[in-house]
Amino acid sequence: MVLTTVFESVVRISYGMQLKQVLANGKKMALNVGIVLILQEGFELPLPDCISP
């Protein structure tokens, strides 16, 4: 069975933009943030020609 549902995931992470992280050299820079998106078993990315811009 081929599924043809394409979806977009929008994630907003709320944190203080003034927060800084300390680098290995001791300098401060903008905080690195990210997410882990867990998808169900068997999930596959669509072929590039299946996605319209």
* Cα–Cα distances in angstroms (integers) from residue 28 to residues 13, 25, 38, in the given order: 21, 9, 31
pLDDT (0 to 100) of residue 4: 67
* Domain range summary for the chain, segments of one domain joined by +: 1-52
pLDDT (0 to 100) of residue 2: 58
pLDDT (0 to 100) of residue 14: 87
Q: What is the pLDDT of residues 1-53, one digit of tens each?
A: 556 677 788 888 888 889 999 999 999 999 998 889 898 888 888 777 777 66
Q: Which residues have C-beta within 8 Å of that of residue 50, sequence separation ≥ 6?
A: 4, 6
pLDDT (0 to 100) of residue 43: 84
Handedness of CA 12, 14, 19, 24 (dihedral sign): negative
